[in-house]
């Protein structure tokens, strides 16, 4: 993925609350999904958030399964992610961790970051790890990335199509046709999203 580092200019007043999504490490692990989520974050439909600990988790797992990649490559990726999305990196959440209850205590840092970021949603494949009973009191929902992306598409199909078009344009080695990219996204467990996009192939 290739992004030019830049800061977003939101032009919002300080009293305006924007929809905020925290990305769990599992949705940043697959490169095609990570790329799409990043490009969608730059379309200003919502605020995207993550932490250094979430970065550490997805990069560690990628390196464990991709010995052809070097740590400095993923370090560059995370630097670009942090540089492209304004205030994406959540800090100061650690003190909340011990007071939280989740099925897996190792996931508490994700919820703590979401609380600190005042997130509306945690985007994750691992919905069972974030039950509504544990999240409701904080006004946070856990959403599968397919459901999250469909929601964004229904809000603004032009913006989602634009993000996918930019994603495809950046694929040079090798390039991908629209159908090839949609097949790639379908393999990321995004059946609803790809079904929506197949109706707009002329925009991709």
- The 3-class SS string of 69-137 reads CCHHHHHHHHHHHHHHCCCCECCCCHHHHHHCCCCCHHHHHHHHHHHHCCCCEEECCCHHHCCHHHHHH
> Cα(140)–Cα(83) distance, rounded to whole angstroms?
26
Residue owning tokens 């979430």: 54
Rg of the chain (C-alpha set): 17
Which residue stretches of the chain have pLDDT < 70?
1-17
> Cα(127)–Cα(105) distance, rounded to whole angstroms?
15
Residue 96 confidence (pLDDT):
98
Residue 45 confidence (pLDDT):
87
Residue 13 confidence (pLDDT):
38
Which residues belong to CATH 3.40.50.1010 in the chain? 20-145
**Are the C-beta atoms of 26 and 130 separated by less than 8 Å?**
no
Residue 14 confidence (pLDDT):
38
Residue 12 confidence (pLDDT):
36
Residue 18 confidence (pLDDT):
82
Residue 5 confidence (pLDDT):
36
Residue owning tokens 């994700």: 110
Give the β-pairing of 121-123 and 141-143: parallel
pTM over 0.85? The answer is yes
Residue 2 confidence (pLDDT):
43
Candidates 117, 99, 97, 116; CA nearest to 108 is 97
**Are the C-beta atoms of 100 and 134 separated by less than 8 Å?**
yes
CATH number for the domain formed by residue range(s) 20-145: 3.40.50.1010
> Cα(159)–Cα(71) distance, rounded to whole angstroms?
32
């Amino acid at each position: 993925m290739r992004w030019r580092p830049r800061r977003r200019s939101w032009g919002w007043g300080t009293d305006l609350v924007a929809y905020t999504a925290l990305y769990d490490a599992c949705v940043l692990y697959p490169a095609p999904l990570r790329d799409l989520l990043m490009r969608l974050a730059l379309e200003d439909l919502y605020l995207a958030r993550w932490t250094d600990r979430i970065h550490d988790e997805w990069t560690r797992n990628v390196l464990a399964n991709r010995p052809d990649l070097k740590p400095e490559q993923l370090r560059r990726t995370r630097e670009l992610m942090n540089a492209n999305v304004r205030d994406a990196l959540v800090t100061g959440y650690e003190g909340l961790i011990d007071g939280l209850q989740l099925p897996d205590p190792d996931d508490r840092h994700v919820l703590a970051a979401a609380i600190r970021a005042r997130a509306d949603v945690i985007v994750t494949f691992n919905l069972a790890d974030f039950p509504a009973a544990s999240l409701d009191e904080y006004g946070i929902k856990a959403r599968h990335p397919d459901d999250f992306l469909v929601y964004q598409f229904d809000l603004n199909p032009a913006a989602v199509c634009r993000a996918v078009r930019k994603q495809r344009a950046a694929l040079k080695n090798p390039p991908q046709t629209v159908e090839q990219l949609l097949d790639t996204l379908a393999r990321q467990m995004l059946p609803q999203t790809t079904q929506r996009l197949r109706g707009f192939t002329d925009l991709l």
